[in-house]
Amino acid sequence: MPPNRRESWFRGYTNWYVRATVLFVQVVVVAGVLHSLLGTVGVVISGFAATLLLFRQITLCIRQELRRASD
């Protein structure tokens, strides 16, 4: 039996927070490594990379919700 809309929404909302947490941890680890290797330039590079990754994640979440809404 497929989940009703409310369960589906909650599951998607929880998954978004899990993805955000994983993204945050990845960015912190990469920033730490780049900072130790390249100094301040490494932190700036990881900031730009984090911005691009966050934009990608938000785009994927929006597409997922639009697909779910059209079903």
Report the domain count for the chain. 1
Q: Which residue's structure tokens are 């599951």?
A: 11
Q: Which domain holds residue 20?
A: 5-70
- The per-residue pLDDT for range 10-49, each reduced to its tens digit, is 566 667 778 778 878 888 888 888 888 888 888 888 888 8
Residues 47-55, mean pLDDT to the nearest whole number:
84
Is residue 59 pLDDT above 50, yes or no? yes
Q: Is the pTM of this model over 0.75?
A: no
Task: Give the 3-state secondary structure of the chain.
Answer: CCCCHHHHHHHHHHHHHHHHHHHHHHHHHHHHHHHHHHCHHHHHHHHHHHHHHHHHHHHHHHHHHHHHHHC
Residue 5's pLDDT is 53
